[in-house]
Amino acid sequence: MDVNAAVAAVAAIAGLLTGVIAMLAFRWSERDQARPTRTSLHTDAVLPPGVDTVLSVLRSSAVVLDEGDAVVKASSAAYALGLVRGGKLAVEPMLQMARDTRRDGEIRQVELDLPRRGTGRGEALAVSARVAPLGSRLVLLLVEDLTEARRIEAVRRDFVANVSHELKTPVGALSLLSEAVMDAADDPEAVTRFAGRMQIEATRLTNLVQELIDLSRVQNDHPLEDAEPVRVQELVAEAIDRSRHTATTKNITMAAGGASDLRVWGHRGQLAAALGNLVENAVNYSPAHTRVGIAARRVTAPGGDLIEIAVTDQGIGIPDKDKERIFERFYRVDPARSRATGGTGLGLAIVKHVVASHGGEVTVWSTEGQGSTFTLRLPEAAAGRDRTRDGRGTSSEITTEPFTAPEVLP
């Protein structure tokens, strides 16, 4: 009897203990759920109402710091720029600004050059950082990326400097030659010689001004507003006529071929100028008794068929180190040769801008001493698919000599 009572007592005590433990566990769970988490503390309890919404629509990278320099809120752009890492502000100058602002409440602003993440190169990220107090305990940091603005400003400065230099050369030459003509008024042969030089410099000046006007026009115009189906055959014929005299003088054979009845969609004048610049360069930079070829074909692409127009020469070629820069304004591979041929350094810049504005691209293949191939790829106009849907056709009527672009086309 005593044993049974003891067992019952033990069972009762065990049940009581189990109940107490369960109750404590329930209370602990309730208290743990009611305790504010780090995330809720930072976003709901700490940020003033509406600030989270405002920060989400700002273009600037935004970071909110608490009194312990912990990141309360950071925009995705701030993470992308590498400003926030591991829940901390990773840029020491910005962190020091935030501490100073928290101490005295003054708004601060500074421009910094930060290392670019993940490039492994010495490129710097230019930013403007502005720090202001947000309430009594928080500090708001707004960071604006100035890298692209600085690049555009540098391009503008270089452009102005290059234009000034390019204009100064022929204008200065004309001034000196005019003085020489005046001094040689009694020498007809000298006057004739100096007058011929003046004509050359005046032509160079005229070409430079015209190409500046052309470049300004293609940058400001919207080619697709006045777009129409343009026959590639007509563009090629016009480009050849433009350089025919120079080619004849140097005994350069110009040949055109490829698929016929191809059409591209765009502004006829701009497309003619772009292709004409490529053909003119090919003739100018090719030695005598060589050949310049223009070939057109249709290529299949995921977004729709493209028309490929290749201009191939047997000229001096382009060094590898210059291939990425030849489309920059005023950039010349050989400045002395460019001046001898009357080049301004704007032709390829115009080509690149025209092709890009038409939704296409321009590429170059070149080997020093073997020549170059510039290839335009432009969207095809639907009307051009009637007769040559497979990309093959009869030879162009521009020349009696058929021409096929080399297989090395990029």
Cα–Cα distance for residue pair 171/149, rounded to 1 Å: 33
Query: Could you tell me the sign of the dihedral formed by the alpha carbons of 383, 386, 391, 393, in that order?
Result: negative
**CA dist 403 to 313, 318, 327, 397, Å?**
12, 23, 27, 11
pLDDT of residue 55: 73
User: N- to C-terminal Cα distance for the chain?
Assistant: 103
pLDDT of residue 322: 78
Which domains are delineated in the chain?
A: 42-145 (3.30.450.20), 147-220 (1.10.287.130), 223-410 (3.30.565.10)
User: What integer pLDDT is reported at residue 16 of this predicted model?
Assistant: 63
The two most distant CA atoms of the chain are separated, in Å, by: 152
pLDDT in tens, 164-222: 766 777 788 888 888 888 888 888 888 888 888 888 888 878 877 777 777 776 666 56
Residue numbers in the chain where pLDDT is lower than 70: 1-46, 57, 117-123, 159, 165-166, 217-225, 331-345, 382-410
CA 394 → CA 187, 257, 312, 389, 403, distances in Å?
Answer: 59, 8, 20, 13, 11
Tokens of 126: 């230019």
Residue 33 has a pLDDT of 47
Burial class of residue 128, CB neighbours in 10 A (0-12, 13-18, 19+): middle
Burial code of 30-66, b = ≥16 C-beta within 10 A, e = fewer?
eeeeeeeeeeeebeeebbeeebeeebeeeebbbbbbb
Residues in the chain: 410
Q: In this structure, is the dihedral angle defined by the CA atoms of residues 2, 8, 14 and 16, taken in order, positive or negative?
A: negative
H or E element in which residue 93 lies: helix 92-104
Q: Compute the distance between CA of residue 307 and CA of residue 390 in angstroms, rounded to an integer.
A: 12
Cβ-contact 233, 260 below 8 angstroms: yes
**SS3 label, residue 310:** strand
DSSP track, 22-60? HHHHHHHHHHHHHSPPHHHIIIIISSPTTHHHHHHH-SS
Residues 6+ apart with CB under 8 A from 88: 69, 70, 71
pLDDT at 221: 59
Order of all β-strands in the sheet with 61-65: 71-74, 61-65, 138-145, 124-134, 108-115
Element of type H or E holding 179 = helix 147-183
If you compute the radius of gyration of the chain from its CA atoms, what whole number of angstroms results? 36
Determine the pLDDT at residue 15: 64
Report angle CA 10, 16, 17 to the nearest 5 degrees. 90
Can you read off the two tokens belonging to residue 284? 């100018």
Tell me what pLDDT residue 113 has.
Answer: 85
Other beta carbons within 10 Å of 383: 12
DSSP for residue 396: P
pLDDT value at position 359? Answer: 86
Q: Number of H helices and number of E strands within the chain?
A: 11, 14
